[in-house]
Structure formats: C-alpha cells, structure tokens
Structure 1
Amino acid sequence: MSTERIADQTTFAYWVPNVSGGLVTSDIEQRTSWDYEYNVELARTAENNGFEYALSQVRYEASYGAEFQHESTSFSLALLLATERLKVIAAVHPGLWQPAVLAKLGATADQLSGGRFAVNVVSGWFKDEFTHMGEPWLEHDERYRRSAEFLQVLRKIWTEDDVDFRGDFYRIHDFTLKPKPANTPERPNPELFQGGNSTAAIANGGRYADWYFSNGKDYDGITAQIDELREVARAHDREVKVGLNGFIIARDTEKEARDTLREIVEKANKPAVEGFRSAVRQAGSSTGDKKGMWADSTFEDLVQYNDGFKTQLVGTPEQIAHRIVEYRRRGVDLILAGFLHFQEEVEYFGRNVLPIVRELEAQQVREPIGV
C-alpha cells in the first residue's frame, strides 16, 4: 500500500454527459440526457451534493453508441457560467488543437469563471476522428510525445512572457498572452490533467501535469500506477495528484446493486462493444511494454468504456464508502464518477454515500493508519 501522501479528503468529480448514449454501451435504460438544459440542472445538483469537479468528454463524431456530441471546451464554459463553485475540466486532443489557441481560450475561461476552468489532455485513441478531418494519425508513443510538448506549451504561455518553444511538434516564437489566468494563491493557473494508463501517460503526468487521470483499476492496479507516477514526479521535484475513474452503482441493498450491474452487462450492445474493443485494441498493445489503456480489459469491462466497473464501486452506501476510503489510503485524491441515472444518483450519492465517506475519513484522522 502506498502511503507517501494521503489527501485529507477524497475529492469527487462526475462525467458530464455531453455525449449521447450514456456511459455504458448497453440497451438498459439510462435516465440521462446530453442536452444543455439537463446538464445545467445536473451541474447545479452536483455542486450542491459534494462534487467539486466535472469532466466534459471529447468526441468529434458518432462512434460506438455516441451518436451526438457537444464540443467539450464550449460546453465546459457554458456549465461554468451556469454554476457558482463547480470546476469544469474540458478534455482536449493535441493534434486537433494548437496549444497557444487553447491557452487563449483557457485564459478567457479562467477570467469569466473566477478560476474554475481546467484541461484534461488526452492523446487520442479513435483514429477515424483524426483521419476523417484530414489530420495525421501518429502511433501511440508519438501521440504522447506530442502531448508532453502540449502540456509544456500551455504552462509556459500561462506563466511567462515572450515565450519561445522549439519542439518536434510545436514551435512558439516570442509569444505573450494577455490577459493571463489570474494565478494567485486563491486562483492558481488552470489545472492540467493528463489522462491515460500507459507508461508514456504516467511519465507525462509525473513531469508536466497537476493531475494524473487513470481508467478504472482495482487496489493493486492503481497502487502500482501511483508508485510509478510518484517515482517520475520525485525525479523532477514535483508532486502530482491522482484521479481514478469509477462507475458507481449505489443501492439500498447489495443484491439490488449487483443485479443492476448484471443487467447492464447482459443487455450490452454487443456489436458496439466489439467495435469499440477492435478500435482500442492497439491502444495498449502498440506500446513497447504492452501497458496502456484497455490492454487487459475484458468484454464486460468495456461495456463501461473507461473500465469503470474495475474500480468495484458497487453495493450499499456503506460498502462503496469503505472502498472509496481504501482507495484514498492508497494515494487516490479524486474519484471520477459515472452513473446510470445521473440526476437521481448524484443526489443519492450526496445524501447517502458522501456522509459515510467523510465520517470514515475523520475516523482515520483520529486513528492514524498503522495504529
């Protein structure tokens, strides 16, 4: 168990359903919607039920059950302007953005939202999104080398004047952004998240990001990732926070929760899941060490397309709360939550699960680990 640094409290984020089809590729009913009005109501519910962050997904065209999509940065800004405290993270693909342009957008969003805008850099897995728009498709490690430069350029433009950067993918010459993000102790620069599961993603997170986002993992899986991430961060005199994806099925009884999970998998849209599995198979296997997104995912895992079932947040409020706190003890700072029925389940989580999490965390403060 990793105990190098343990957060005072677990932070919670939720997946913004700005993409149609819900978060499971299944024909089970999902009481959710990708439209703006639903998402504004959900964002306000979330910030009043203990959620500090929301993550807007990035999809550019129909794929594997996601027929319709709202663009992530504009949708994130809209949610920021409709809420008071929620921080909204926009997922973006290097290769489809010029980093100085995104830096300008981010600075504006920072000013308009009072410092609540953040960016999740995802290197891309869906080849067609690049090739259909006439953009080159790079192999896995090259995509992450590009993401490393992307993160560096964003940071430099937000913090420096007369920026020069000469990389293999981006060239910036004597560029000064004004206004910059506020960058005060109360409002630091927009937070940078690095998503991914590969060795290259962990290296980028440890060297350049504020946060590292992992797909769903069990205890052993996330502990190994955190150990590797911290080794990279220490080598560069840095500290990085960790977010973990988890699909939450909280019900009054464990049987009800397990039955819901079973129904999700039994009603999986098999052609869509198999199509997704075929599209992402190269994501992990194309890396040198065969470690990466979906490298060890089964069909059942891929029904929730970010491996959210692996985190095993399924059961009663008490069972889920205990598991969340165990992840915190292993170094997880944030749980990125997905739900079947977003509006009602976010409220259920805030009312029934979160108070137990906070009490368990308080008990650990009173009774430190190892005592």
Structure 2
Amino acid sequence: MSLHPPTATDESIRFAYWVPNVSGGLVVSKIPQRTGWDAPYNRRLAQIAEEAGFDYALTQIRFTAGYGAEYQHESVAFSQDLLSATTKLKVIAALLPGPWNPTLAAKQIATISHLSEGRIAINLISGWFSGEFRAIGEPWLDHDERYRRSEEFIRALRGIWTQDDFTFRGDFYRYTNYTLKPKPVDPQPEIFQGGSSRAARDMAARVSDWYFTNGDTPEGIRAQVDDLREKARANRRSVKVGVNAFVIARDTEEEARAVLQEIIDQADPDAVKAFGHEVKNAGKASPEGEGNWAKSTFADLVQYNDGFKTNLIGTPDQIAERIVALKEAGVDLALLAFLHFQEEVAYFGAHIIPRVRALEAQRGRRAQAA
C-alpha cells in the first residue's frame, strides 16, 4: 500500500491524543514508560503530533492525586503552553463545573482564542469522582443534576461568547446584561463532552459540538451514535463523535499483544480496584443504573477510558482497518493514548495515518463507482 495517499478531506476521520499532563501516563500500571508529564516533554510531544498529522490534543484535569497520578498540571494553563509551541494543532482544555464557572471559563478561553488564532476548544467534564469534590470542598450533585449543571454551563458560555448584554436565568448560573469583550475569534471554540448515560447523550444532542465515548467495538459505538444522532436531529442539530482508544502498534500482532499483556500483568491492583469502585458507583447513580464503565473488567480498567476495548492493537495494517471500521460505525475522531508517547505518536503518523487515508480514498472510489 502506498504511504503517500491523499491528504485528509472534510469526511476523513480525525486524530487526537491524550496529553500526559499528569504523571503515570495513561495506564494504571507500573510498567516502565518513556512518557513524561513535564512541560518540556509535552511541548515536544505536541510538535511531534502536529508533524505526524494529529488534529487535536486533549489536556486532562485532576485536582487530587490518585490511581498512579501523583502529579498534575492544570489543564487551561497547560493548553496555552502547548499552543504557544505549535502552529496548527488544536488543543482541547478540560473544564470541571464547580471549580470553574462560565464567567471565568468564557474569559480564559476567549483570551486564549486570540493568542492562538482560534486553536482552543474545551472538554466539559460533568464529574465522576465524588472524593475529589469532597476533598476540595465542592458540593457533589446527583448524576443527572451534574449533567443539568453542565448544560447550563454550556448555554451560558455560548451566550457570553455570542451576545452583548447577555441575560440568563438558570438554576446554577445567572447573568444580567453581561457583555464580554473581546469575544473569541470565529469560528467559536468547539465544545466537547463525554459520557455514555442517557443524560450525557441527551445533553450532547442539545448543546455540544462533540461527544466522547469510552472505548468499545464498532457495534457498540454504532448503537450510541444512532441514538445520539436521532436525538440531535430532533433538536435540529448535528453532533460529532469521538472514541477513546489505546494504541499498541508493532511489527506483528503477537508483539503487540505481548505488550498489552505486560501492561496488565504489571497493573497496580489496588489502584485499579479503587478506580473501578469509583467509576462504577458513578454509573450506578444514573437513572438507568449504568455508565461508561458498567461492563468493564479489571483488564479494561487498567486503561482509564476502556481504551483496550477499541482494539487498536496489532500491526499498522490491522490498526488502519479497524480505524476505518470505527469511521463506518459513525466515529469522526479517534482519541488516542500510547505507552511511550513521543516515539509512538511519531510512528502512528508515519505508518498508520497514511494507511487510513489510503483506505478512505479506496472506499470512497468504490462508493462512487457503486
């Protein structure tokens, strides 16, 4: 297969990577990693990802240590640092209602929008870790109330960014004739959110631009996509979908599977079980009684967002085929994590993205012919 395929089009699947701005990488494992959480490592990683063909980077927000992540850099400030080191990459800053309110977020992101020529976006986290909220003295709301607050947060953000004399009367946020200047540059910052509960998908259908879901099979993802898009159409909106995946690309599938097994074998069992306890409790608190991690095994939970389930583990050809299958299931963006980020992001750009683009072009030609 040619490794010089057509460049991405509007219909191409896009790629993002998790920024390792917290220690421990993206697995709850003691396996040695050549991944750093410090600023110099991440600046260089952002440049590598940009050169490799990645479209987005997603910074993480944590306020308390746990699950192998003892150190954490704040997401918005860290996002701006990565933007200053790059020229094309878009950075998605994670925000958490409670510690943030829409007033602060609107002003921060509007300023960064000007500094970066519009390359900033946000990922609004409704929250799943009650212990973190208790530790920092923030009220812990019921499951659907957290999503109701997040929806108000987004409605307030959009109003502040697009209107003068903005007035809003919500249960969580209120504004009276508020005008923010400067507003973000156009187009407005994209708004991402995650979740897999009914409340999460309904909220995305009403107010978000992007919906992130945990790792899953193409069949499992298609069910969520179909449900989400039906709801969005009812609201006369469209929502794009991103899926989490952990990538292990090696010369043979056996080598890749051996790395996966080593990650799981060296997992920190206490940290994995504690993480599983928190996230499964958060899901059980939803009206339908399950959330993102409801069916996750111990091995799944070694990767925070079920990234092993997406099965981007094998040779470059296998991984490219599976990415295109995700696209055909309705995925618009693959949000990726790696064991050794710098080297493996570069490898992904050199050996997998070209294969994906070639497969997309090939299938596009077949569709036209049909």
TM over 0.5: yes
Give the match for residue 270 of structure 2. Answer: 271
Structure 2 unaligned segments of length 5 or more: list them.
1-8
Q: Residues 97, 369 of structure 1: CA spacing in aligned structure 2 closer, same or farther, 3 A cutoff?
A: farther
Structure 1 unaligned segments of length 5 or more: list them.
1-5
Q: Residues 7, 205 of structure 1: CA spacing in aligned structure 2 closer, same or farther, 3 A cutoff?
A: farther
May I ask how many residue pairs the two structures share in their alignment?
A: 362
Q: Residues 33, 361 of structure 1: CA spacing in aligned structure 2 closer, same or farther, 3 A cutoff?
A: same
Give the match for residue 213 of structure 2. Answer: 214
How far 1:290 sits from its partner (Å)?
Answer: 2.0
How far 1:291 sits from its partner (Å)?
Answer: 3.2
Task: Identify the match of residue 167 of structure 2 among 164, 169, 185.
Answer: 164
Task: Identify the match of residue 180 of structure 1 among 163, 179, 183.
Answer: 183
- For the residue of structure 2 that corresponds to 1:295, the secondary structure is coil
Give the match for residue 43 of structure 2. Answer: 40
Q: Which amino acid aligns with 2:67?
A: Y
Distance in 1 of aligned mates of 2:228 and 2:305: 20
Give the match for residue 116 of structure 2. Answer: 113
Cα deviation, 1:121-170, whole Å, max 9, x if unaligned, reads 01111112211111101111111110110111111111111111111111
How far 1:7 sits from its partner (Å)?
Answer: 6.1
Q: Is the 8 A contact 1:283 1:295 kept in 2?
A: no
1:246-285 map, 5 Å: 246-285=245-284
Q: Would you say 1:95 and 2:106 are equivalent positions?
A: no
Q: Which amino acid aligns with 2:156?
A: V
Judge which range, 69-78 or 123-132, deviates more.
123-132
Distance in 2 of aligned mates of 1:226 and 1:7: 19
Distance in 2 of aligned mates of 1:161 and 1:203: 28
Q: Would you say 1:85 and 2:88 are equivalent positions?
A: yes
Q: Which amino acid aligns with 2:149?
A: R
Q: Would you say 1:24 and 2:27 are equivalent positions?
A: yes
Give the match for residue 5 of structure 2. Answer: none
- For the residue of structure 2 that corresponds to 1:164, the secondary structure is strand
The alignment-based identity, stated in percent, is 59
Give the match for residue 132 of structure 1. Answer: 135
Distance in 1 of aligned mates of 2:280 and 2:307: 17
Task: Identify the match of residue 151 of structure 1 among 146, 150, 154.
Answer: 154
Q: Is the 8 A contact 2:160 2:179 kept in 1?
A: yes
- For the residue of structure 1 that corresponds to 2:320, the secondary structure is helix
Q: Which amino acid aligns with 1:245?
A: N
Distance in 1 of aligned mates of 2:10 and 2:47: 25
Give the match for residue 3 of structure 1. Answer: none
Q: Would you say 1:68 and 2:67 are equivalent positions?
A: no
Distance in 2 of aligned mates of 1:170 and 1:370: 53
The two structures have a TM-score, normalised by structure 2, of: 0.96
Distance in 2 of aligned mates of 1:28 and 1:368: 44
Distance in 1 of aligned mates of 2:88 and 2:335: 17
Give the match for residue 344 of structure 1. Answer: 343
Distance in 2 of aligned mates of 1:364 and 1:37: 40
Cα deviation, 1:34-80, whole Å, max 9, x if unaligned, reads 00000000000000001010000011110110000000011001111
Q: Which amino acid aligns with 1:227?
A: D
Distance in 2 of aligned mates of 1:128 and 1:109: 31
Q: Would you say 1:326 and 2:325 are equivalent positions?
A: yes
Q: Is the 8 A contact 1:283 1:294 kept in 2?
A: no
- For the residue of structure 1 that corresponds to 2:52, the secondary structure is coil
How far 1:197 sits from its partner (Å)?
Answer: 1.4
- For the residue of structure 2 that corresponds to 1:44, the secondary structure is helix
Q: Is the 8 A contact 2:67 2:271 kept in 1?
A: yes
